[in-house]
């Protein structure tokens, strides 16, 4: 079976035959790429290499309904077995890619085998940054994988542990909310003055702090973690730089992630804070594209690369990247409006666009006090973002309107 460049307006159809494609990373972005390839008519061999020994599953519930016990592991699969089978993928699960041959599309696996491919889709995502010195301390958790979530939940539901969360970003806030639902005493520590202020701006960051406080979450913002208190390698608390101590039986560290690019060392692919891509998710090797949390994609309108860590970007980039890979050059640019949501303390927060804390912000619908509103961010009188709290319909309309702004119209 083979595939001659296929689809898409602007594709020159002269990129040569492609009979095998390798997708590295078997999660949301990788699975989306496989779907897009088959939808585009690629009927060649598709090999998907995944470090985790399980079929692709959804991560967002790991900090929310899975942690509280509302959603069992069996319901996290990204697709049912029939859809997975229909993709006709050769799965290499429980296997890591350890190298990519320079200038080629051959992927080396950790068992010494090599997947010879005509093109590679890099979808290796990111992993949480550990707290220095806390890597092997029992009771200290990171949260990225199902295994991480199973281990964290096991500790949260045994006895009534006191929980400290280092990092008040989305993961930290959602885990704090889940801990409250589980009836646990929980405190969030962050060096910032307000939670999520760099993303939402200070007005709505204050609202997030209020949500935490109303539900009984302890807040230690503007506080720096100096280290952990341990006893026989078991965490007993968190030491703060001001000399105070926070007792804790369980600590969750949510201080950001690092893109999984190490395996690309020596491949000739440009990497930095992620795989460096052009505006079409194509790397410095035209036979290699990158998508999802690992991809740092050039945004012409911003004049720089952006690495998005959002569910929706991982799925949307797959279509652009796959089309460009099959074309053999960058025929399409990725221009979708960035979007993410977060569920915390019974509130759904949705944000689209790229607001900055310094933007002007106006509530255009609903009421902040009632925790149901829509707000628009503008910069130099241009719309740059929209935020909704418990107002999904108004948000959907505003997001569509933002997508009509020239900056987001695909070329």
Ligand X SMILES: Cc1cc2nc3c(=O)[nH]c(=O)nc-3n(C[C@H](O)[C@H](O)[C@H](O)COP(=O)(O)OP(=O)(O)OC[C@H]3O[C@@H](n4cnc5c(N)ncnc54)[C@H](O)[C@@H]3O)c2cc1C
- The SS3 call for residue 122 is strand
Q: What is the nearest approach in angstroms of ligand X to the Cβ of residue 380?
A: 27
The residue (of 93 and 192) whose beta carbon lies closer to ligand X is 93
User: Does residue 120 touch ligand X according to CB under 6 A?
Assistant: no
Which residue of 195, 201, 292, 385 would you call a contact of ligand X, by CB under 6 A?
292
User: Does residue 223 touch ligand X according to CB under 6 A?
Assistant: no
Do 298 and 277 touch, CB atoms closer than 8 A? yes
Longest Cα pair distance anywhere in the chain, in angstroms?
Answer: 66
Q: What is the nearest approach in angstroms of ligand X to the Cβ of residue 149?
A: 7
Helix (H) or strand (E) holding 158: none
Render 2-62 in DSSP notation, one character per residue. -EE---STT--S-S-EE-EEEEE--SHHHHHHHHHHHHTT--SEEEEEESSSS--B-SGGG
User: Does residue 50 touch ligand X according to CB under 6 A?
Assistant: yes
Interface with ligand X in residues 238-267 (CB under 6 A):
260, 263
* Token pair listed for 173: 């806030």
Residue with tokens 């969750």, as numbered in its chain = 252
**Which part of the chain contacts ligand X (CB under 6 A), choosing from 188-196, 226-234, 270-278, 287-295?**
287-295
- Over the window 67 to 106, marking each residue x when it contacts ligand X by CB under 6 A and - when it does not, the resulting string is -----------------------------xx---------
* Token pair listed for 209: 């702090």
Which residue of 104, 116, 155, 309 would you call a contact of ligand X, by CB under 6 A?
309
User: Does residue 63 touch ligand X according to CB under 6 A?
Assistant: yes
User: Does residue 124 touch ligand X according to CB under 6 A?
Assistant: yes
- Mutual orientation of helices 202-214 and 170-181 as an angle, nearest 10°? 20
Measured in residues, the chain has a length of 411
The residue (of 128 and 201) whose beta carbon lies closer to ligand X is 128
The residue (of 122 and 361) whose beta carbon lies closer to ligand X is 122
Do 100 and 267 touch, CB atoms closer than 8 A? yes
CA distance 85 to 2: 20
Which residue of 190, 293, 354, 359 would you call a contact of ligand X, by CB under 6 A?
293
Which residue of 91, 221, 329, 341 would you call a contact of ligand X, by CB under 6 A?
341
What are the counts of helices (DSSP H) followed by strands (DSSP E) for the chain?
Answer: 9, 29
| Contact residues: ligand X, CB under 6 A | 24-30, 49-52, 59-60, 62-63, 96-97, 123-126, 143-144, 171, 260, 263, 292-294, 309-312, 314, 340-342
């Amino acid at each position: 079976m083979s595939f001659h460049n296929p689809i898409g307006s602007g594709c020159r159809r002269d990129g040569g035959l492609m009979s095998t494609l390798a997708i590295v990373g078997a999660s949301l972005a990788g699975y989306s790429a496989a779907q897009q390839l088959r939808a585009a008519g690629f009927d060649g061999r598709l090999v998907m290499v995944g470090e985790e020994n399980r079929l692709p599953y959804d991560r967002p519930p790991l900090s929310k309904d899975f942690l509280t016990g509302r959603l069992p592991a069996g319901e996290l699969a990204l697709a049912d077995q029939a859809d997975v089978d229909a993709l006709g993928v050769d799965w290499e699960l429980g296997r890591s890619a350890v190298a990519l041959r320079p200038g080629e599309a051959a992927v080396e696996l950790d068992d010494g085998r090599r997947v010879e491919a005509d093109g590679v889709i890099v979808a290796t995502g990111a992993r949480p940054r550990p707290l220095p010195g806390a890597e092997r301390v029992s009771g200290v958790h990171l949260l990225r994988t199902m295994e991480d979530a199973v281990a964290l939940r096991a500790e949260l539901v045994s006895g009534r542990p006191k929980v400290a969360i280092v990092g008040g970003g989305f993961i930290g806030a959602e885990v704090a909310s889940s801990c409250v639902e589980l009836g646990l005493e929980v405190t969030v520590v962050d060096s910032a003055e307000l939670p999520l202020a760099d993303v939402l701006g200070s007005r709505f960051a204050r609202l997030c702090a209020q949500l935490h406080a109303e539900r009984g979450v302890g807040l230690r913002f503007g506080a720096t973690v100096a280290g952990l208190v341990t006893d026989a390698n078991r965490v007993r608390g968190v030491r703060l730089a001001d000399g105070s101590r926070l007792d804790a039986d369980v600590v969750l560290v949510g201080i950001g992630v690092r893109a999984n690019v190490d395996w690309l060392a020596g491949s000739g692919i440009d990497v930095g804070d992620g795989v460096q891509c052009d505006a079409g998710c194509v790397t410095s090797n035209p036979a290699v594209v990158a998508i999802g949390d690992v991809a740092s994609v050039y945004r012409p309108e911003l004049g720089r690369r952006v690495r998005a860590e959002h569910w929706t970007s991982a799925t949307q980039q797959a279509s652009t990247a796959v089309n460009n890979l099959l074309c053999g050059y960058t025929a399409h640019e990725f221009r979708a409006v960035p979007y993410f949501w977060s569920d915390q303390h019974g509130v759904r927060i949705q944000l689209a666009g790229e607001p900055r804390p310094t933007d002007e912000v106006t509530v255009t619908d609903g009421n902040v006090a009632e925790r149901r509103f829509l707000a628009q961010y503008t910069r130099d009188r241009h719309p740059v973002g929209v935020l909704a709290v418990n107002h999904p319909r108004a948000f959907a309309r505003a997001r569509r309107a933002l997508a009509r702004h020239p900056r987001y119209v695909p070329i």
